[in-house]
Amino acid sequence: MSTDASTPPGPRSANRFLWVALASAACCVVLAVGLLRPREQPLERFGRLPAFSFTRQDGQPFGLQQLQGRPWVANFIFTRCPTICPVFTQKMARLQKQTAGLDGPLALVSFSVDPQYDTPERLTAYAGKYGADPARWSFLTGDYTQLKDIIVGGFKMAMGRDEENAQEIASIFHGSHFVLVDRTGEIRGYYNSEHDDAVERLLRDAEQLVRSGE
């Protein structure tokens, strides 16, 4: 005679059920975190820069053509500036260091707003003072009117000088924002260099551009 008796699961079966339950719970947690994590928002678009070409610190022509295919950050300085420019350039140097490990090239470009004084030789000395890597960081000089056209008309940044006292350093003025530009030459962001939170946002946005391939 046979009897139908159910056999309780042994320890091995119980352990298997426990691991299945734990794995299911872990998947739910990962899914929930993924749903809660904010997605990267596309960066704004502020218009494409017109073509330009100036003289780099090594004396070579350099402009939008050489920057095609690379996202880049611009700022606006002059080498004999005693106030904002040293700090502005130090922050660009910090950005150079912070982005050194990115899986893609991020170029840095400093435009001189005092090109009559800022010769390639002076720009080279200035670049060396801040540890600029010439493979990534370019300093540009050239014709004053052409530089003003691209800075004011293209970047929409302030630049000028008091013509009555044109030889005075204090007569020179310019904007203090970083400008982020994508691989196609379109402006994607403005960042006040005097605000640390804005500079941190620039770092995040630059990393996003590199990752996205824009």
Q: How far apart are CA 60 and CA 67, in angstroms?
A: 14
Q: Specify whether the CB–CB gap between 105 and 126 falls below 8 A.
A: no
Write the CA distances from 23 to 16, 29, 100, integer angstroms.
Answer: 11, 10, 38
pLDDT in the model for residue 24: 52
The reported pLDDT for the residue numbered 8 is 46
**End-to-end CA gap in the chain:** 78
How confident is the model over 25-84, as pLDDT tens digits?
544 443 343 434 345 689 999 999 999 999 999 999 999 999 999 999 999 999 999 999
Domains of the chain in start order, with CATH, are 53-212 (3.40.30.10)
Going by pLDDT thresholds of 50, 70 and 90, the confidence category of residue 167 is low
The two beta strands, 61-63 and 53-56, are antiparallel
What does DSSP say about strands 107-112 and 159-161: parallel, antiparallel, or unpaired? unpaired
- Per-residue pLDDT of 85-94, as tens digits, reads 999 999 999 9
Q: What percent of the chain has pLDDT over 70?
A: 79
Question: Which amino acid would we find at residue 9?
Answer: P
**CB-CB neighbours of 101 under 10 Å:** 6
- HSE value, Cβ hemisphere, 13 Å, CA-based, for 149: 10
Q: Do residues 110 and 137 touch, judged by C-beta distance below 8 A?
A: yes
Longest dimension (CA), the chain: 119
Two structure tokens written together for 110:
């400093």
**pLDDT-derived band at 165, boundaries 50, 70, 90:** low
Question: Which of 99-103, 143-147, 164-168, 208-212 has the largest mean confidence?
Answer: 143-147
